[in-house]
Structure formats: structure tokens, C-alpha cells
Amino acid sequence: MSAPLIELNSGVEIPQLGLGVWQATSDEAEQAVRFAIDEAHYRHIDTAAAYGNEAGVGEGIASSSVLRADVFLTTKLWNADHGYERALAAVDTSLRTLGTDYVDLYLIHWPLQDRDQLMRTWDAMEKILADGKAHSIGVCNFEPHHLQALIDRGGVLPAVDQVELHPHLQQRELREFAGEHGIAIESWSPLGGTSGSGWGPNSKPNTVLSDPTIGDIAAKYGRSPAQIVIAWHIRSGLIVIPKSVHDDRIKQNISVFDFELDDEDMERIASLDSGERVGMHPDDMNLDAPS
């Protein structure tokens, strides 16, 4: 089973479902990536410099049975690398670590709080795009006001905005705003998070997979709660990157294209939006910002 493609505003196509690897070690990521490509038909891998596993991701792709060109690879610019020169150096470091000469998508990991510096970082992102080191550029964790700043600036718009998004945090306002500007939304922590404890100062445990409504719907379709949540992202038109380092879950998470949630179940899930985050609010994040 392979994921359908979505065309980004850059003209590049992205598989709607990919493998997330946050909190996987480099060795775990290598194994998970190879398995996902060779045994489960994933063609989209999402990593970040800050995950510390780009080397494993690169080795997983290189040692798989498919060509690098057949895998959509995303990595992200860490907070400490905001600023024009630092961003240009950071992409080169990521490419070296990944063992490739381009990424399909390069994202700013967090907007941070220095707006002028963010604009200089985006200048660098445009250069990275023009130099062919990334085939598309985008952002993560941008609220509408951050996107508006890039719209007002002119120039290349982000191809995607990758944000925390799951049935308990459905991000409707952001999705509408991004949609009006042709910016695709990618869901991080699409299953509600990578651990039982969440992260950040206001973090909550993962309550998505244990949500009774999701459980009811799972029983109705004879699917797992994770598959129901992923099917909801897919029918919502979102790009989704569930993380797992377990072979059975990696396979299960992409086995969602042979059924579709009906309207009634989409509405039941729509009613679960409590606005609860497992990660930090982007406006509060300034970790590792350059001084």
C-alpha cells in the first residue's frame, strides 16, 4: 500500500503519509527507515537536525532497495542556526550528515521570537532553494501571524507549515488561513505524541490513542485506534508523519488506504477538539535561540 501524492505550491509532490523519527536514536532510525521503505512502501521520511538521527536516516535510505531520488526526505533547521550565515552552514551540515546533496523539503523548526532574525533566516531558506539544496522550503510551528509576516515580506511562500495537530488539537483557524494561501499543513504528533508524558512546560499525556470515541470507531471498522486517527488526517487532507520504531506499527500505520471514515465518524472526531497540546505553544518557544 503506498500513500497518495499531494502537490505543494512549489510544484513538488509529497507522499501524504511519511515516517516520523523524533525520539528515535540514530540506530533505531536507520533500521526503521530501511524497514519502512523496503517492507512497508513508505517513500517519505521526516527528520530534523535536532533529532540527532540524520546519520541513521541517511544510512537507512542508502541501504534500502530504492534510489535516493525515489524517497521524499525532509529535515529541519534548528533554532540555534537562525540567521542568514548560520542557516546556510546548517543546511550543509545536515546534507553531509544525511549523505545526500539535497533534501526534498527543508523546514524552519520553530519561528522563535526575533522577527527580524526570522526574516534573515527566510532569506537564507530562499537561497538554499535557489541553490538546489532543497527542492521545497517551509516552516514548522508557524501561527497565522508568523505566516502573515512572510506573506507581507513577499518572495517565496512556505510550501508547508508542520504543526502539532491531532484530534485533540485540530488547528482549524490555522488550517483555514494556510489553505487560503496555498500552504499545505503537515501534522506532527499526529497520534497525540511520542511518549506517555508529552513535553514542554504545559505538556499532557497522550490521550488521543486511548480516547473512548476513537476506540468506538476503531471497533466499528475493525482497525486500531492509530489507524483511525491516521485515516482522519488523510480524509482531512493533511500530510501526516506518524512515528514508530516498531515494524508491526510501521506497517499498520500505512495500511490505511483501503478504507475511509464516513461523514458521521469524521464529525464525531471533529467534536473531540479540546485544544490540548502535548508540545509547547510556538509563541512561548525560544529554546536555543542565538543571542
2-21 mask for ligand A2P (x: CB under 6 A)? ------------------x-
Cell numbers at 288, concatenated: 536555543
Going by C-alpha positions, the residue among 247, 226, 252 that lies closest to residue 166 is 226
Closer residue to ligand A2P in complex, CB, 146/233: 233
Residues in the chain, total: 291
CB 62, CB 99: distance < 8 Å = yes
* Active-site annotation, residues: 51
Is residue 246 part of an annotated ligand binding site? no
Which of 181, 249, 251, 268 binds ligand A2P (CB under 6 A)? It is 249
Name the maximum alpha-carbon separation found in the chain: 54
The position carrying cell 483557524 is: 173
Q: Name which position in 140, 252, 265, 269 contacts ligand A2P (CB under 6 A).
A: 252
Q: Which three cell numbers stand for residue 286?
A: 525560544
- 246 contacts ligand A2P (rule: CB under 6 A): yes
- Helix (H, G, I), strand (E, B), or coil: what is residue 271? coil
User: φ and ψ at 51, to 5 degrees?
Assistant: -75, -20
- Choice between 74 and 252, CB closer to ligand A2P: 252
Interatomic CA distance for residues 135 and 66, integer angstroms: 19
Q: Does 121 bind ligand A2P (CB under 6 A)?
A: no
Interaction between residue 136 and ligand A2P (CB under 6 A): no
| Window contacting ligand A2P (CB under 6 A); options: 6-14, 37-45, 49-57, 243-251 | 243-251
Please give the residues from 159 up to 198 whose contact with ligand A2P meets the rule CB under 6 A: 189-195
CB of 84 to ligand A2P, least distance (A): 31
Q: How many angstroms separate the CA atoms of 252 and 6, rounded? A: 21
Residues in contact with ligand A2P by CB under 6 A are: 20, 189-195, 209, 224, 226, 242-246, 249, 252-253
Binding residues: 109
